Structure formats: structure tokens, C-alpha cells
């Protein structure tokens, strides 16, 4: 049984979605509008069916057929619905260059199925129907003030005024800074001519996050996010769209290593940093302290002179793309020797000498006079070394670490007794 049909009328062309309510809608095999089967139907529940009306005319009876037979019928009417005349209520921007080429947005009603957009008697260069209430169109060349109208299946409706402006095309000469992070957010200054009245600033195809016209020769704009690489910045004014100036989006720098990763507390040693996106680096910091100096070698390498410091700090690099991650660098104190054992030995090599002191963990060299020798680091306070051969007499013993060279202690070579 059918108790209601909603809506009870639709287009003669069919396609209207109709909801049937009633009872015992169990496994129906057909829904008919008069003698014609519905285009399609869906059983929502035992009390509801949705059906798409087929084409038809006049008033027909809607019925449902199921295992128990065919239901009662309820009336459904095919009604010719008048097509609305498109009406334009607004255009933005409301003016543009005499040469045309700018995109305007039309708002209004009845735009579905639009077949033409005209600026006065001239057709728009192109147009796109966004919805029944919005169209975007590219203005053709023109002059003076014209009416923008839309033509559709319902005819041509009322329009709104659009003014052609004889204004110079803006010109850009520079952008500063000429690069910035891919995340955007930095403010750039555009210089040029005829910038008064600019309505848009674009980075590639992306509008600036915001912009401010400072004067006829200067605009400040906040860069939107972008992809690594160059884009052209352009501005659009009443006279048209400017030439482009190049702006580079720079990736965030990363550091992968520092060599050496140790150095003296007094600083002064040169450290090579490796990573990515290092071009244009404006700062290198050891912890919070700027490097004494640095040189950008390539996009993957920087050399920096370590400043004085202590402990372990993070080295970071800053570029127009932002601040990098940190890599560790450890400041090493100058080693100190406090004792030797034994303090004397034979002229020949091979005597094991124990060096006592502090800061010995990173020992890189042990010297007896000017002669290096093999050694073993036992702890931060203890190193053993093999005394090299040499002439009789005293020799200074010292050690070298990344922290510098220690004080020296005397080791004496003694000649064997003769007979």
C-alpha cells in the first residue's frame, strides 16, 4: 500500500527523485509511473522506496508491484517548469584594463546551462560556470563602461556595469629578499612602477598570503608556502598584469655531520659541516654562540671556525630556508700531565712509561721530544707509552688531544754502565 508520493510533481523529462511511503514494501519487483517503469528504484525499508521518475506527461498513477500483487496508485503529475532567466547581480573586480585578459567573478542566479557571457556586445574570451550562482570569465578588450550579461536557456537577463580603465601596466624591477623558506611567511618588498591600485600579488600561481601597496613604486607582500625552486612574482592592477621577477623557495637546511666533532675550549679550529640545502647560509652557531667565521663551500658543505666554548653543544646553520637541526660538537679541555713512571730509562726503545694527568681520554699523540711513539689510553687520567730510543740525557714528554698540547714532564735516558 502507498500512502504518499513526495514530490507529487516533476519535470516531463524525468529524472526527479521521488519518495514513496507506505507499507509492505517487501521485495518489490517494479515501480511504475502509469504504465512506464521507474528509471531506477531503491528499497529503503518496508515502509519507504525512492524512485527516479521516467519521462512522461500529464498525471499518472504511481504503483508498486511485489510478491503480493500491485499496490494502490497515487497521483504524480508531469509539469513543465519554466527555465529561469540568468541575472547578474555583481562583478568582481568591477573594472579592468582596456586590453582585457583579466579574470572576473560574476555572482547572481540562473547561471546553470549558460551559453554566453558578454561584456557589452563582446563575448568573454572564456568563461566557466562554477554553479547556478557563480561564473568566472576572462574579459575581452574594450573601452568605457559596459554591461556584463549572461545568456542561458531562459534567455538573457539583466547585467551589471564593468569599466574598462586606460591605466598603465604595472612593472616590477626587483624583489628583496629574493628567496625564502618553502613554508612561506616571510615578508618581501617588491619595487617597480605604476603599482597604485594593484589588486593581486601572485607567487607562481599562488596568491600572496597578504600584501600592502606602500606607494606607486613599492609593495610589501607575505610569501605563501611553495615548492623548492624558482617562481615568478607578478602583480595585477587596473592596467593588467606585470612582468615577473624571480623568487626562490629554499628547502629547510639539514646537517648530517661535523668533522672534527671535538675541539679546544679556546676555539679557533676549523670544522667541516656536511648536510643539504646549505647555500645562502647566513649564520652558523655553536650552541648559542656564532662561529668566529664560516664559508659556504657548496649546497652540502660549510667550513666554520669554532668559537670558544665548553662542554657539548649543538652546531646549527641558518639559511633563508630556516634553521637546521643540530649536530653535536664537544669542547675538550687542554690536557695536563702530573707525573711519569718511571722517569728514566735506557737509551734503547721499549720501556713502558705511564703518564698521569687529566683530560687524556682523547689523546692523539704522545711525544718524547719531537719523536712520536705508540701509546694506549687507559683512562682520562692514565696513558701508557713506549719510550723511543734516543741519546742520553733528559727529554720532554707531552701529549696532544683535540683540546691542545699538554705541559711537558722530563724523562731521562741513561746510558748503560761500561767497564
Q: What is the 3-state secondary structure (H, E, C) of 99-116?
A: CCCCEEEEEEECCCCCCE
Can you give the pLDDT at residue 81? Answer: 63
What fold does the segment set 336-414 form as a domain? Immunoglobulin-like (2.60.40)
Q: Could you read off the pLDDT of 56-90 as tens digits, one per residue?
A: 999 999 999 998 899 999 999 998 766 788 999 99
Q: Do domains 87-165 and 336-414 have the same CATH topology?
A: yes
Can you give the pLDDT at residue 215? Answer: 95
Q: Which residues of the chain have pLDDT under 70?
A: 81-82
Question: What does DSSP assign to residue 148?
Answer: E
Question: Structurally, what CATH architecture does the domain formed by 2-78 represent?
Answer: Sandwich (2.60)
For residue 48, list its beta bridge partners. Answer: 21, 45
Can you give the pLDDT at residue 296? Answer: 97
**How far is Cα 297 from Cα 274, in angstroms, rounded to an integer?**
10
**How far is Cα 76 from Cα 16, in angstroms, rounded to an integer?**
11
Question: Structurally, what CATH architecture does the domain formed by 87-165 represent?
Answer: Sandwich (2.60)
**How far is Cα 396 from Cα 284, in angstroms, rounded to an integer?**
39
Can you give the pLDDT at residue 102? Answer: 85
Can you give the pLDDT at residue 418? Answer: 74
Region class of 248: left (phi > 0), else alpha (psi between -120 and 50), else beta: beta
What fold does the segment set 254-332 form as a domain? Immunoglobulin-like (2.60.40)
Task: Provide the residue count of the chain.
Answer: 419
**How far is Cα 355 from Cα 317, in angstroms, rounded to an integer?**
40
Q: Where are the domains of the chain?
A: 2-78, 87-165, 171-250, 254-332, 336-414
Work out whether strand 301-305 and strand 293-298 pair parallel, antiparallel, or are unpaired. Answer: antiparallel
Identify whether the C-beta of residue 179 lies closer than 8 Å to the C-beta of residue 249: yes
Yes or no: domain 171-250 corresponds to CATH 3.90.1150.10: no
**How far is Cα 232 from Cα 284, in angstroms, rounded to an integer?**
30
Amino acid at each position: 500500500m502507498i500512502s504518499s508520493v513526495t514530490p507529487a510533481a516533476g519535470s516531463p523529462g524525468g529524472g526527479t527523485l521521488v519518495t514513496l511511503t507506505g507499507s509492505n514494501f517487501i521485495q518489490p519487483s517494479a515501480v511504475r509511473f502509469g504504465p512506464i517503469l521507474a528509471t531506477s528504484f531503491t528499497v529503503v525499508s518496508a515502509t519507504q522506496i525512492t524512485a527516479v521518475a521516467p519521462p512522461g506527461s500529464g498525471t499518472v498513477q504511481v504503483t508498486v508491484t511485489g510478491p503480493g500483487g500491485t499496490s494502490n496508485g497515487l497521483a504524480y503529475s508531469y509539469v513543465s517548469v519554466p527555465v529561469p532567466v540568468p541575472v547578474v547581480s555583481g562583478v568582481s573586480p568591477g573594472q579592468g584594463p582596456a586590453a582585457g585578459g583579466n579574470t572576473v567573478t560574476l555572482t547572481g542566479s540562473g547561471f546553470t546551462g549558460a551559453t554566453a557571457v558578454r561584456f557589452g556586445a563582446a563575448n568573454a574570451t572564456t568563461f566557466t560556470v562554477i554553479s547556478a550562482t557563480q561564473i568566472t570569465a576572462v574579459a575581452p578588450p574594450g573601452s568605457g563602461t559596459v554591461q556584463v550579461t549572461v545568456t542561458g536557456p531562459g534567455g538573457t537577463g539583466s547585467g551589471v556595469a564593468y569599466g574598462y580603465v586606460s591605466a598603465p601596466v604595472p612593472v616590477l624591477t626587483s624583489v628583496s629578499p629574493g628567496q625564502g623558506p618553502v613554508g612561506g611567511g616571510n615578508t618581501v618588498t617588491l619595487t617597480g612602477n605604476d603599482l597604485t591600485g594593484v589588486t593581486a600579488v601572485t607567487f607562481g600561481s599562488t596568491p600572496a598570503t597578504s600584501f600592502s601597496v606602500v606607494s606607486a613604486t613599492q609593495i610589501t607582500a607575505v610569501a605563501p608556502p611553495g615548492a623548492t625552486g624558482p617562481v615568478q612574482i607578478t602583480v595585477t592592477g587596473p592596467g593588467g598584469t606585470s612582468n615577473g621577477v624571480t623568487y626562490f623557495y629554499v628547502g629547510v637546511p639539514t646537517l648530517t655531520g661535523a668533522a672534527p666533532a671535538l675541539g679546544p675550549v679556546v676555539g679557533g679550529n676549523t670544522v667541516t659541516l656536511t648536510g643539504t640545502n646549505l647555500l645562502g647560509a647566513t649564520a652558523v652557531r655553536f650552541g648559542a654562540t656564532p662561529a668566529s667565521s664560516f664559508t659556504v663551500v657548496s649546497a652540502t658543505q660549510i667550513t666554520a671556525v669554532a668559537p670558544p666554548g665548553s662542554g657539548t653543544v649543538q652546531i646549527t646553520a641558518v639559511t633563508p630556508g630556516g634553521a637546521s637541526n643540530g649536530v653535536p660538537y664537544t669542547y675538550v679541555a687542554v690536557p695536563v700531565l702530573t707525573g711519569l713512571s718511571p722517569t728514566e730509562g735506557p737509551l734503547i726503545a721499549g720501556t713502558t712509561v705511564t703518564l698521569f694527568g687529566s683530560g687524556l681520554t682523547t689523546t692523539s699523540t704522545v711525544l718524547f721530544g719531537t719523536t712520536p711513539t705508540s701509546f694506549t689510553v687507559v683512562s682520562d687520567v692514565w696513558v701508557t707509552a713506549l719510550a723511543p730510543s734516543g741519546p742520553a740525557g733528559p727529554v720532554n714528554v707531552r701529549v696532544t688531544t683535540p683540546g691542545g698540547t699538554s705541559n711537558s714532564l722530563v724523562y731521562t735516558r741513561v746510558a748503560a754502565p761500561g767497564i
